[in-house]
Amino acid sequence: MADPRRLDQLFTRIMRGLVDTGRAPHYAELARALNVPLPEGRQLLLDVMQAYPIGWLHPETDYIASFPPLNNLPTQYRVSVRGEQTWFAQCGFEATSVTWLFPGETVRVQAPCLDCGEPVVIEMRDGRLVTVEPASIVGHLNWGFGPSRGKPPFL
């Protein structure tokens, strides 16, 4: 396993990249940022994903698909900050954690209800719910926490 400091550096680059742009960087960009050879950058990415298994690469690629609480691959959980919809949450549960990536900001999450298509909206600021529409919103875990991991249709 790589040097934990290197993994921290790479993790922070990915998370910061997602927050700043809504997109996860490629390992080639990460390697350059960390001033390491490309193969080492790729291996560091693989090591980070192994150390952070709640995220995942797109199958048979080196592309970051999911890096919770945000997702590089669009989901129905659209996240807006300062009126700009730039981000996607990994799932409805992780959506409630995105607030911690934008301190001092109101984070809006809007998704279509998978039953009726009508909007489900929450707004949070520094971890507090400030808007819940409709008030009856609930979270639902379909398969249990272990088995749900990596089941994309249910995220």
Partner 1 sequence: MNLFRSEEHARRWPQFNRASEDGLGFIRLEDLVALFGTESRRHMLDADYLSAWYPRRAAERRAVLERAGKTTPFWMGTPGTP
By CB under 8 A, name the binding residues for partner 1.
4-5, 7-9, 11-12, 15-16, 19, 48, 51-54, 69, 77, 91-97, 99-101, 111, 113-116, 118, 120, 122, 124, 127, 129, 132, 134, 136-146, 148-149, 153-155
Residue 26 or 125 having the CB closest to partner 1: 125
Per-position b or e across 137-154, b if 16+ CB within 10 A of its CB: eeeeeeeeeeeeeeeeee
Q: 81 CB contacts (<8 Å, ≥6 apart)?
A: 87, 102, 105, 106, 107, 108
Question: Which lies closer to partner 1 via its Cβ, residue 18 or residue 60?
Answer: 18
Q: And the tokens for 142?
A: 């379909």
Distance, CA of 122 to chain centre: 17
Tokens of 9: 């550096």
Min dist CB 101 to partner 1, Å, is 6
Question: Please, what sign has the CA dihedral across residues 146, 152, 154, 155?
Answer: positive
Residue 81: CB minimum distance to partner 1, A = 14
* In the complex, minimum distance from the CB of residue 76 to partner 1, in angstroms, rounded to a whole number: 9
In the complex, least distance from residue 72 CB atom to partner 1, rounded to whole angstroms? 16
C-beta closer to partner 1: residue 60 or 75: 75
List the one residue out of 71, 72, 62 whose CA is nearest residue 28: 62
